[in-house]
């Protein structure tokens, strides 16, 4: 074996068994259940021991300033870690970090000469040792190793599972370290502890220069409230897996942004992200839009059309408003999830696809199932990893940061210099219930920027306080109906456009049409 018993292997994708897919999802849930990295690794070692007979997990972190590797070792069933500082020369973790290739040693006892790090592991009784790079789009963090006291065969399925587990753990480490403290990227002598919550600021005018954007994968997902941080933690955890994700939340909460974040943090990040709304496309066209059609499949099909599923091959497909998916299409989608294949309309050739599906809805799918509008078996296929996207009412702490973000964005576009948001205005923004959630806030801020002619943001405080009164004591459907009627009245019955009712409510036009149909509201009576 070359290079002192180290075998460099490039692990390629292969078919994982159903059990291993479930184990990978178990790891995602395991990460969600641990509040700190220090608590995560002992549980990880125990989980891998039960699933694959691995007894040891190692975390090798390279310190370039000292030319050494800090090797943290966790043994299954033990909470405490063993930490050794080893010379970088000849260390397996350093080689993996430098070359970004796995090191796979099936039997340490069969090797006559080993680097110091592997000799150390052999003293623990380790026989098989597989090491993978911990790498994200931002950093080369180090290497993670999986050791067993027994000889573990080098099957493609096992190696692929470990490679994906390493990718998931890399994202967990990268984002947790980024949010938990200013520890240097090359020195992790201390495993970070939980973040100390920050106190709410005293009421004062808000200086826009204090605004700073967050992690690049979470573009426009601004804030530091507990509900948002929990959401981001779930995204970081499930992203490296191939599990189907179901995003649940009210209209305007940013479910598509969450879906894009899952895609950016996944191994499919370099492939396409394709989105399709189940309400924006007429039912008779949606099937063709999803699955494609052959030439002559129906009147007007003069050419072959490639559907969104094929476009998303090897990438991610977002099915927005999946609760409105027509019944005739539901069994075909179920087949895609089960068999990863389908036929185009008018065709008899089976098309194979490798697509990671993310579904989003603002509906109660359990009620839809009870009413016979949604298939129960499809729900269970979609509900592998549900994520609740919190409403703005649940994360009011984030409103100041969101307002600063949107003001900065729209002021830049309008070439205006807006430096301050009055405390009175911010208080009014915090008091409003935001039925349209972040989209409503975004549209209001855009209007405020347009109206502002000085360095101080002009906010219609009286309007917010006046509009907040009618909702008290009423059921939500009544409040929703009243808001829609008011918006239609102000817009003169116009639905779309910059001054239309949809924009005033912070909704997409198809969503407003759907709600109006549900509430039996006609825009005709409001037109002059």
User: What is the distance between the alpha carbons of residues 199 and 194, in angstroms, rounded to a whole number?
Assistant: 16
Q: Write a three-state SS string for 155-221.
A: CHHHHHHHHHHHHHHHHHHHHHHHHHCCCCCCCCCCCCCCCCCCCCCCCCCEEHHHCCCCCHHHCCC
Q: Considering only 90-104, 148-162, 380-394, 493-507, which range has the smallest mean pLDDT?
A: 493-507
- Mean pLDDT calculated for residue range 2-18: 44
- Mean pLDDT calculated for residue range 60-83: 78
Q: What is the pLDDT of residue 476?
A: 44
User: What is the distance between the alpha carbons of residues 86 and 70, in angstroms, rounded to a whole number?
Assistant: 6
Same domain, 401 and 366: no
Q: What are phi and psi of 147, to 5 degrees?
A: -120, 150
Number of domains in the chain: 3
Q: What is the pLDDT of residue 192?
A: 35
**Minimal CA–CA distance to 378: which of 336, 339, 330?**
330
CATH number of the domain to which 56 belongs: 3.30.450.40
Work out the pLDDT band at 176, boundaries 50, 70, 90.
Answer: low
Structural domain contains residue 434 = yes
pLDDT, tens digit, for every residue of 191-214?
332 222 233 333 444 444 333 334
User: What is the distance between the alpha carbons of residues 151 and 105, in angstroms, rounded to a whole number?
Assistant: 10
pLDDT, tens digit, for every residue of 329-388?
999 999 999 889 988 888 788 889 999 999 999 999 999 999 899 999 999 999 999 999
Q: What is the pLDDT of residue 466?
A: 58
pLDDT, tens digit, for every residue of 14-65?
445 544 544 666 677 776 666 666 777 888 888 787 777 888 888 888 777 6
Structural domain contains residue 379 = yes
Q: What is the pLDDT of residue 333?
A: 92
Same domain, 359 and 234: yes
pLDDT, tens digit, for every residue of 487-519?
788 778 888 776 777 766 666 777 788 788 888
Structural domain contains residue 188 = no
Q: What is the pLDDT of residue 14?
A: 41
Same domain, 367 and 402: no
**Minimal CA–CA distance to 117: which of 162, 79, 83?**
83
| DSSP state letter for 277 | E
Distance of CA 138 to the CA centre of its chain: 17
Work out the pLDDT band at 259, boundaries 50, 70, 90.
Answer: very high
**Start-end of H helices in 346-475:** 365-370, 376-382, 399-413, 423-431, 437-451, 461-467
Determine the structural domain holding residue 53 and report its residue range.
2-180
Given 363, 388, 413, which residue is the final one in a domain?
Answer: 388
Given 180, 212, 243, which residue is the final one in a domain?
Answer: 180
Q: What is the pLDDT of residue 260?
A: 92
Neighbouring CB atoms inside 10 A of 18's CB total 7
Helix axes 437-451, 399-413, angle to 10 degrees: 50
Structural domain contains residue 323 = yes
- Mean pLDDT calculated for residue range 469-474: 38
Same domain, 516 and 442: yes
Helix or strand (DSSP H, E) at 69: strand 68-75
* CA 181 vs CA 176, 196, 492: distances in Å: 9, 10, 53
Same domain, 287 and 408: no
CATH number of the domain to which 369 belongs: 3.40.50.300
What sign does the CA torsion over 18, 23, 24, 28 have? Answer: positive
- Mean pLDDT calculated for residue range 78-90: 75
* CA 525 vs CA 480, 494, 514: distances in Å: 18, 11, 18
Any bridge partners for residue 359, and if so which?
A: 246, 319
* CA 67 vs CA 84, 114, 186, 188: distances in Å: 14, 19, 10, 14
Q: What is the pLDDT of residue 219?
A: 67
Judged against a pLDDT cut of 70, whether residue 429 lies above it is answered with yes
Same domain, 163 and 268: no
Whether the predicted model's global pTM rises above the 0.85 cut: no
Helix axes 37-52, 156-180, angle to 10 degrees: 170
Judged against a pLDDT cut of 90, whether residue 462 lies above it is answered with no
Structural domain contains residue 199 = no
User: What is the distance between the alpha carbons of residues 95 and 369, in angstroms, rounded to a whole number?
Assistant: 53
Structural domain contains residue 58 = yes
Structural domain contains residue 488 = yes
Given 349, 370, 388, which residue is the final one in a domain?
Answer: 388
Q: Is there a contact between 358 and 244 (Cβ–Cβ < 8 Å)?
A: yes
Q: What are phi and psi of 384, to 5 degrees?
A: -65, -45
Q: What is the pLDDT of residue 9?
A: 46
Place of tokens 């370039």: 64
Same domain, 270 and 418: no
| DSSP state letter for 525 | G
Q: What is the pLDDT of residue 506?
A: 61
Same domain, 364 and 410: no
Same domain, 55 and 157: yes
CATH number of the domain to which 463 belongs: 1.10.8.60
Secondary structure (3-state) at 152: coil
User: What is the distance between the alpha carbons of residues 127 and 113, in angstroms, rounded to a whole number?
Assistant: 14
Helix or strand (DSSP H, E) at 303: none
Q: Is there a contact between 404 and 208 (Cβ–Cβ < 8 Å)?
A: yes
* CA 385 vs CA 78, 237, 436, 511: distances in Å: 29, 10, 25, 25
The two tokens of residue 265 are 């943090």
| DSSP state letter for 345 | B
Structural domain contains residue 261 = yes
The two tokens of residue 486 are 């008011």
Distance of CA 411 to the CA centre of its chain: 28
According to DSSP, the β-strands at 356-361 and 245-248 are parallel
Same domain, 473 and 521: yes
Judged against a pLDDT cut of 80, whether residue 468 lies above it is answered with no
- Mean pLDDT calculated for residue range 88-108: 82
Average pLDDT over all residues of the chain: 77
User: What is the distance between the alpha carbons of residues 249 and 320, in angstroms, rounded to a whole number?
Assistant: 11
Same domain, 418 and 380: no
Same domain, 360 and 476: no
Work out the pLDDT band at 472, boundaries 50, 70, 90.
Answer: very low
Q: CB neighbours of 363 closer than 8 A, spacing ≥ 6?
A: 323, 324
The two tokens of residue 471 are 């909702």
């Amino acid at each position: 074996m070359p290079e002192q018993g180290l075998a460099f292997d490039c692990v390629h994708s292969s078919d994982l068994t159903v059990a291993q897919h479930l184990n990978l999802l178990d790891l995602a849930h395991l990460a969600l259940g641990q509040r700190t990295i220090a608590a995560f690794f002992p549980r990880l070692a125990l989980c891998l021991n039960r699933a694959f007979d691995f007894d040891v997990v190692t975390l090798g972190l390279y310190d370039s300033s000292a030319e050494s590797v800090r090797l943290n070792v966790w043994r299954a069933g033990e909470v405490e870690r063993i930490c050794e500082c080893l010379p970088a020369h000849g260390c397996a973790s350093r080689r993996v970090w430098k070359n970004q290739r796995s090191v796979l040693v099936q039997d340490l006892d069969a090797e006559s000469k080993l680097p110091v790090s592997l000799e150390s592991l052999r003293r623990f009784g380790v026989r098989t040792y597989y090491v993978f790079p911990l790498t994200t789009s931002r950093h080369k963090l180090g290497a993670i190793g999986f050791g067993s006291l027994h000889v573990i065969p080098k099957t493609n399925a096992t190696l692929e599972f470990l490679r994906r587990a390493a990718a998931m753990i890399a994202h967990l480490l990268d984002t947790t370290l980024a949010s938990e403290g200013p520890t240097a990227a090359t020195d992790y002598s201390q495993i970070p502890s939980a973040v100390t919550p920050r106190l709410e600021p005293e009421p004062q005018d808000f200086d826009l220069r204090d605004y700073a954007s967050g992690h690049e994968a979470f573009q426009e997902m601004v804030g530091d409230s507990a509900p948002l941080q929990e959401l981001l933690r779930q995204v970081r955890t499930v992203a490296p897996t191939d599990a189907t994700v179901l995003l649940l939340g009210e209209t305007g909460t940013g479910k598509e942004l969450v879906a894009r974040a899952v895609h950016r943090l996944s191994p499919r990040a370099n492939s396409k992200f394709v989105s399709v709304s189940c309400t924006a496309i007429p039912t008779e066209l949606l099937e063709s839009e999803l699955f494609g059609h052959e030439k002559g499949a129906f009147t007007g099909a003069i050419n072959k059309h490639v559907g969104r599923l094929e476009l998303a091959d090897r990438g991610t497909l977002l099915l927005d408003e999946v609760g409105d998916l027509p019944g005739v299409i539901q069994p075909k989608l179920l087949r895609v999830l089960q068999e990863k294949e389908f036929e185009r309309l008018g065709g008899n050739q089976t098309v194979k696809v490798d697509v990671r599906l993310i579904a989003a809805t603002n509906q109660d799918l359990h009620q839809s199932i009870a009413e016979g509008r949604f298939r129960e078996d499809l729900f269970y296929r979609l509900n592998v990893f549900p994520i609740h996207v919190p409403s703005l009412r649940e994360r009011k702490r984030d409103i100041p940061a969101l307002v600063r973000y949107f003001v900065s964005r729209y002021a830049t576009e309008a070439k205006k210099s807006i430096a301050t948001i009055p405390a009175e205005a911010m208080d009014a923004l915090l008091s409003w219930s935001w039925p349209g959630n972040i989209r409503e806030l975004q549209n209001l801020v855009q209007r405020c920027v347009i109206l502002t002619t000085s360095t101080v943001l002009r906010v219609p405080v009286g309007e917010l306080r006046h509009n907040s009164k009618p909702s008290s004591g009423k059921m939500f459907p009544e409040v929703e109906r009243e808001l829609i009627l008011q918006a239609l009245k102000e817009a003169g019955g116009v639905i779309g456009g910059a001054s239309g009712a949809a924009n005033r409510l912070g909704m997409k036009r198809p969503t407003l049409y759907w709600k109006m149909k549900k509430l039996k509201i006609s825009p005709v009576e409001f037109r002059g």
